Homo-oligomer: A and B are copies of this chain.
Amino acid sequence: MVRDSEASRVTIVVAVWHLIAHGGIEAVTFRRVAEQAGVSVGRVQHHFGSRDQLVREACVAMVEGAAARYRELPGDPYERLEHILTHAVPDSPEVRFGTSVWYAYLAKAVDDELICELLARTKRGAEDECVALLEAARWHQAVGGGADPRLLARRLLALADGLALRVLVGDLSGAEARQLLAAELSAAVTSPVA
């Protein structure tokens, strides 16, 4: 029964996310994970070996989940850009959930080399994707070529991260963040370099 094994792993990983989302990574414990997932401690240990491994694999699963959701988006470049920029702004409880976990892993990156590299690769990949989308979206306006798409992508991405952060701590509303991002994006795609 290989399938049941996979189901077990998914259940456990989801439980890990839940624990992280409202308790931080220090809340991740074999016993607590088992309880949250409704399985035995031995099961968790069997599939993930050590606590570090459990935390790491849950991180990998999260990144892959985000990537999978992105791939299932419609093809329109503008929409894809909008998704990349706003998908981490915690409007709804579900997005807040994901963002909380994301930032927990970000903090964990300072003492876990592997997680650090994974997050770095992910961000770099998002930038690359963003560059490609920008070039596709601005219909080759060819307005002198002064606006480097890579720098533009980097700006937009950083802006999105910074705003998501402030929405997360709660001194900015999701609407305000989305509005600012939308304005910035439309300005980036329609105008040349400012």
Contacts and interface: CB of A to CB of B under 8 A. Distances in A.
What bracket does the count of chain A residues touching chain B fall in?
35 or more
Interface stretch (A57-65, A67-75, A100-108): A100-108
Given A110-B103, A163-B158, A169 B24 contact: no
Contacts of A194: 187, 191, 194
Interface stretch (A32-40, A42-50, A135-143, A149-157): A149-157
A104 B154 CA distance: 24
B123 A169 contact: yes
Contact of A159 (B21, B22, B116, B162): B162
A162 B169 CA distance: 15
Interface in A1-40: 21-27
Contact of A170 (B103, B120, B180): B120
Contacts of A111: 22-24, 27
A185 interface: no
Interface in A140-194: 151, 154-155, 157-163, 165-166, 168-172, 180, 184, 187, 191, 194
Nearest to A179: B151
30 contacts: A21-B110, A24-B25, A24-B108, A24-B110, A24-B111, A25-B26, A25-B107, A103-B107, A104-B110, A106-B168, A107-B108, A109-B168, A110-B168, A116-B170, A120-B169, A120-B170, A120-B171, A121-B171, A151-B180, A155-B159, A158-B159, A158-B161, A158-B162, A158-B166, A159-B159, A160-B162, A161-B161, A161-B166, A162-B165, A191-B194
- Which 7 residue pairs are nearest across A and B when measured between Cβ atoms? A158-B162, A161-B162, A107-B107, A120-B171, A26-B26, A194-B194, A162-B162
Given A25-B26, A120-B170, 6 more contacts: A22-B110, A24-B111, A123-B166, A123-B169, A159-B162, A162-B162
